[in-house]
Structure 1
Amino acid sequence: MSILSRVAEILHAKTNAVLNGMENTDETLDLSYEKMITALQDAKRHTADVVAERLSLEQQIAATQKNMDQSDADAHLALSKGREDLARQALTAKAAAATKLQSLQTAHDAIQAQEAKLSDYCATMQQRIDAFRTQKEVMKAQNSAASAQIKVTESLTGIGGQMGDAGAALQRAKDRSDKMQNKAAALDAMMAEGVLNDPLDTRTPVEKEMDALRGGSTVDDELAAMKAAMATKPNE
């Protein structure tokens, strides 16, 4: 394969890809259907023209046949009256009419054959259009269902952007909550370690530790006293 052929194939493939991306399938199907209808209407108009021509030829054939019959009758009448000259003229006219009739009949047969072909063509085209219309509607319904399914799936998976934005907002809120909880825990730890002080608490660090020890001792002493009282109390 030559380089030019390869380049042509690549350009053709890229063009098809661009067209597929831009093409609205439903509109393309409807446009194709309309073109088929237009073609059928044109074929029917041509068929009507041929039918009109055939009818015209049939009228001419009938008129020519009538002239032939009249010339034949005139020839017999003239000859019966002893007018051989008139009879000859009538027979000459009859011969000319016969020649014309043959030409008209030949043209009529050709036109009739053409009309039959056009009629068959129109019938075949009508069948194809009916089949295409059915396939078109089925395909449009399938495209619509597939498009709806894609949109729902994209929404559920976040590809479509709407659910994706909601998921991103939820993640940002969770990250913010985690940061706030971590910050609160860090502040509690710093206050417990004395790194941070309550501005309303004027005690020194030593006083705070002593108060904590005294609070713990008071609870321990009270707990010991309760245990002793329960041990010495007689069972009822």
Structure 2
Amino acid sequence: MSILGRVADLFTAKTHKLLNALEDPNEVLDLSYEKMLSGLQETKAHLADVIAQQKSLERQITTADHEIAGAEDDAATAVKAERDDLAKAALVHRRRAMDNRATLEQALNAILPQISKLTDYQQRLQERIEKFRTQKETMKASYAAAQAQVKAQQSLTGIGERLGGVGETYQRAEDRMLATRDKADAMDSMIEQGIVNDPLDKRSSAEKELAALRDKHAVDDDLAALKAQLGPKVIGSSSSAGSLPKPEGEAKE
């Protein structure tokens, strides 16, 4: 295959793909239906023209019949009056009317089959249009249902254009949350180890440890002072309050 042939095939394939992407089945069905209706209207117009010709020929044939009858009457009247010249003129007129009538009848017989065919074609085309209209509405309803089903499935699976990045967005958010949490845990560990200090606290690590020890001893001293202040009675009563009473027999002994 030549280069031009391959380019032509490629262009045709691209064109068909673009048309398929732009083509809406509902619009195509409506357009086809409109074309069929237009064809039916044209058929009706042609049939009306042919029927009009039929009526015109029938009217002319009727007129020719009147002329023939009148010419025969004129010829008979001329014969009775012994006017052969007038009788001959009437018979000539009768002959011409008869020839004209034969021509008109021949034309009428020629268009009668056309009228029959156009009438039959119109009836079949109208039935086909009604059938296509029903099929069109059914197909449009099925297409709408299929579209709704596809959109629902896309919403559930996240495949659609609007929801296509939901899974990735959720994954990125989860990764960012985990990274932030790990960073917070690392900061807590560094603060506990003294690697990171409060910028407002100017004490060294040793000073902080000493302060923690002083706080611990101070709490122990406060507890001992509280016990000394309450005295041994309070402490004894508190310790005996939890013991069980002795039975009455043992108490008498």
- Give the TM bin, normalised by the shorter chain: 0.7 to 0.9
Match of 1:208 in 2: 209
After superposition, give the CA deviation of every residue in 1:144-173 in whole Å (9 maximum; x if it has no partner): 222222222223322324334544443333
Look up the SS of the partner of 1:162 in the other structure: coil
- Give, in angstroms, the shift of residue 12 of structure 1: 3.2
Matched, 1:98 2:98: yes
Matched, 1:45 2:45: yes
- Give, in angstroms, the shift of residue 103 of structure 1: 0.6
Q: Alignment identity in percent?
A: 41
Match of 2:148 in 1: 148
- Alpha-carbon separation, structure 2, partners of 1:145 and 1:90: 80
Match of 2:83 in 1: 83
- Alpha-carbon separation, structure 2, partners of 1:59 and 1:141: 53
- 1:170-181 to 2 correspondences below 5 Å: 170-181=170-181
The 10-residue stretch of structure 1 (51-60 or 115-124) with the greater mean CA deviation from structure 2: 115-124
- 1:1-236 to 2 correspondences below 5 Å: 3=2, 8-198=8-198, 200=201, 202=203, 204-205=205-206, 208=209, 211=213
Partner amino acid for 2:159?
A: I
Partner amino acid for 1:102?
A: A
- Alpha-carbon separation, structure 1, partners of 2:75 and 2:35: 60
Preserved contact between residue 50 and residue 115 of structure 1 (Cα < 8 Å) = yes
Preserved contact between residue 33 and residue 132 of structure 2 (Cα < 8 Å) = yes
Preserved contact between residue 158 and residue 165 of structure 1 (Cα < 8 Å) = yes
When normalised by structure 1's length, the TM-score is 0.77
Number of residue pairs matched by the alignment: 219
- Alpha-carbon separation, structure 2, partners of 1:88 and 1:127: 58
Preserved contact between residue 194 and residue 205 of structure 1 (Cα < 8 Å) = no
The 10-residue stretch of structure 1 (5-14 or 143-152) with the greater mean CA deviation from structure 2: 5-14
- Alpha-carbon separation, structure 2, partners of 1:137 and 1:157: 30
- Alpha-carbon separation, structure 2, partners of 1:161 and 1:90: 92
Preserved contact between residue 71 and residue 91 of structure 2 (Cα < 8 Å) = yes
After superposition, give the CA deviation of every residue in 1:59-110 in whole Å (9 maximum; x if it has no partner): 1000001111111222223223333332222222222211111110010111
- Alpha-carbon separation, structure 1, partners of 2:183 and 2:166: 26
Inter-CA distance 186–6: structure 2 relative to 1 (3 Å threshold): closer
Partner amino acid for 2:192?
A: A
After superposition, give the CA deviation of every residue in 1:107-161 in whole Å (9 maximum; x if it has no partner): 0111222122111221122122212222222222222222222222223322324
Match of 1:223 in 2: none
Inter-CA distance 191–55: structure 2 relative to 1 (3 Å threshold): same
Q: What runs of 5+ residues in structure 2 fail to find an aligned partner?
A: 221-241, 246-253
Partner amino acid for 1:79?
A: V
- Give, in angstroms, the shift of residue 176 of structure 1: 2.2
Partner amino acid for 1:64?
A: A
When normalised by structure 2's length, the TM-score is 0.73
- Give, in angstroms, the shift of residue 202 of structure 1: 4.2
- Alpha-carbon separation, structure 2, partners of 1:87 and 1:161: 97
- Alpha-carbon separation, structure 2, partners of 1:38 and 1:20: 25
Look up the SS of the partner of 2:194 in the other structure: coil
Cα RMSD of the aligned pairs, angstroms, is: 3.1
- Alpha-carbon separation, structure 2, partners of 1:6 and 1:181: 59
Q: What runs of 5+ residues in structure 1 fail to find an aligned partner?
A: 219-232
- Alpha-carbon separation, structure 1, partners of 2:195 and 2:140: 71
